[in-house]
Structure 1
């Protein structure tokens, strides 16, 4: 299922990771875990934020996907099912 992950990283926790020179590795590990079709990074709500759209093959992948964000970055995380416009059209046409 296509999912959108939005994570707002805690400023203090992410500053510590940055100071250790490990922020790039953290982001690369997140990208490797999710293999997103789209990834965006920027400030939101006063902190570092990432938004990824990726395929979640099985709900059992949720802990592996989110735990590093929660533990290392103390992130506020949202994980939402999303669809493309083509998916929406297909769903709407089935409701006739």
Structure 2
């Protein structure tokens, strides 16, 4: 299932991780683990925030994905299932019985 992972990083913890130079490694580890279609970084609600769009094959992978962000960055994590335009069109066609 295609998922959106939102990582909202604690400012103090991420400041320290930047000082230590560990954020690039954490992001590389995450990208190597989940192989996202896309990854974007921005500021949301005054916090450093990352968005990763990836295919979740096993729900049992969630702790391995989330825990490094919790433990190393004091992050808030949010997962949402998402669709691309083709999947949305397929889902909507099912509503009208055209599938």
Q: TM class, shorter-chain normalised?
A: over 0.9
4+ aligned runs moved over 2 Å, structure 1? none
Q: CA RMSD in A?
A: 0.9
Normalising to structure 2: TM-score of the pair? Answer: 0.92
Shift of 1:6: 0.7
**Paired residue secondary structure (1:94):** helix
1:60-75 to structure 2, matched below 5 A, reads 60-75=60-75
Normalising to structure 1: TM-score of the pair? Answer: 0.94
Report how many aligned residue pairs link the two structures: 96
Structure 2 residues without counterparts, runs of 5 or longer? none
* Aligned: 1:51 with 2:51: yes
* Aligned: 1:20 with 2:30: no
Shift of 1:12: 0.6
Question: 1: CA distance between counterparts of 2:87 and 2:62?
Answer: 23
Deviations 1:65-91 (A, max 9, x none): 111111111111110001111001111
Question: 2: CA distance between counterparts of 1:43 and 1:92?
Answer: 33
